[in-house]
Structure 1
């Protein structure tokens, strides 16, 4: 479990997050949603440790990541996998080299152990045999799958996904959503997804945090979100009579 406790953050005098607390559960797809500029990505960066909060702390299974020394932080970082919005693959490296990169950086595994682990992860995301391909030879959806393989190659306990469906067509987005859900369940990972894609929210959002102007206004499941009385959340989700359509889908 990941706990974010009373996180506040400002940049150059502008308040981005104000007293945001949340618990993210293992074996579930936890989602952070909200409109652009509302603090979603900053909140994620505070949790991962890319940004230090002005106030509050983040705990990974009871370990205070915010106040830990460098050695203890590195232990937690080795348990984290990250899927970036643009996949963030190394253009000059093959698929195999991209997926192997965390193992090269963080482990003392033998070359054969690394290859076995890379092949396992590539097979798990449906890309077996793609080892020698370059990122330029892959579709956007395949690049995202390579990114997922790299994110889990180090037996990650925590998976962070920043807008995983960005730039993908609807059919490919469904495939990526399904893969994120399957991997979360299969390996009991604590998964946090930042998204504004309501199709993804309704399909895989088991635990949802809604941010508005840097504050947490709502928390619940994708079943509960349909009947929310939070006006800001209604405005975000249910424009153009979407509420009625979603209720009809659920009935």
Structure 2
């Protein structure tokens, strides 16, 4: 579990985060939802230690991360896996070499054979067992995201952070990436934090959601509760999506959210 306590962050006197308090639960897909410029990425950078908050603190499973000793912060960082927005694969490395990279950096005592076994396991887990020798330029955008997930979980991460994992992907591929993140989170009991503005992801995998608006947390709940939230800013945000309007209509008619996947598109 990750706990964020009263985080403030400003740049040149302009506040970006204004006293954010939230909890990211273990074994769940925790989504940070909001439009562009709401402070989502800044919050992520504060949590993983790429940026220091002006005020506030962050704890990982009860261990203070902010302002703690360097060795303690480094130990926590070793347990963090990152899926970057653009994949951030090394162009000069094969898929297998990209996946192996954090093992070389973070697990120096692991033998070459052990690293190879771990890479094979992780690539198989994301459905890329036959792509290890390919270069990033030879695979699709969705495959690159899956390589990014394999690389993130290779060191047996405890915490997984995903920055806009569906960015640049078509809807069908986006759903597959969402499902993979959800499966891995629940299978391995990882504390997963997904930064997103995509309401489709909320409907698919939102175990726990916080909504940021202008640097403040205005709401938290889950994917079943969000359609009935009474926060005006959140209602304006979520019902801009035709999928969510359809989901709300199906729910109101006594159906299930899963039905919308098989429904023909129509104006709501």
- Please list, as runs of the form range in 1=range in 2, the aligned pairs for 1:10-159 lying within 5 A after superposition: 10-107=10-107, 108-159=109-160
Deviation at residue 241 of structure 1 after TM alignment: 7.2
Count of residues in correspondence between the two structures: 251
Change (3 A) 1:241 1:113: closer
- SS of residue paired to 1:239: coil
Query: CA distance change for structure 1 residues 244 and 99 in 2, over 3 Å: closer, same or farther?
Result: closer
2-side partners of 1:7 and 1:57: how far apart?
7
Matched, 1:199 2:227: no
- Measure how far apart 1:132 and its partner are: 1.1
Cα offset, 1:239, TM superposition = 2.9
SS of residue matched to 2:90: coil
Give, in whole Å, the separation in 1 of the partners of 2:112 and 2:11.
43
CA drift of 1:69 comes to 1.3
Cα shift readout 1:178-214 (whole Å, capped 9, x = no counterpart): 0000000000000000001101111101100000000
Q: 1:111 to 1:241 in 2, by over 3 A?
A: closer
Q: 1:222-241 to 2 correspondence within 5 Å?
A: 222-239=223-240
Matched, 1:8 2:13: no
Deviation of the 1:129 alpha carbon: 2.2
Give the CA deviation at 1:249.
2.5
2:203 and 2:244 in contact (8 A); partners too:
no
The gaps in structure 1 that reach 5 residues or longer are none
Measured after TM superposition, the shift of residue 245 of structure 1 is: 2.5
| Aligned equivalents of 2:174, 2:20: Cα separation in 1 | 29
Alpha-carbon contact 2:200-2:243 (below 8 Å) kept: no
What is the alpha-carbon root mean square deviation over aligned residues?
A: 1.1
Q: What is the alpha-carbon distance in structure 2 between the residues aligned to residue 239 and residue 97 of structure 1?
A: 41
Deviation, 1:68, is 1.4
User: Aligned equivalents of 1:241 and 1:116: distance in 2?
Assistant: 44
Partners of 2:192 and 2:124 in 1: how far apart? 20
Task: Report the alpha carbon displacement of residue 242 of structure 1 after superposing the two structures with TM.
Answer: 6.5
Structure 1 CA distance, aligned partners of 2:76 and 2:217?
A: 26
Aligned residue in 2 for 1:172 = 173
Deviations 1:151-194 (A, max 9, x none): 00000000000000000001100100000000000000000000
Following superposition, the deviation at residue 247 of structure 1 comes to 1.7
Compute the displacement of 1:86 (Å): 0.1
Q: Distance in 2 between matches of 1:117 and 1:198?
A: 34
What TM-score comes out, normalization by structure 2 length?
Answer: 0.92
Structure 2's unaligned 5+ residue stretches are 255-268
Distance 1:246 1:120 in 2: 37
Q: 1:94-128: per-residue Cα shift (whole Å, max 9, x none)?
A: 11110001110011200000000000000000000
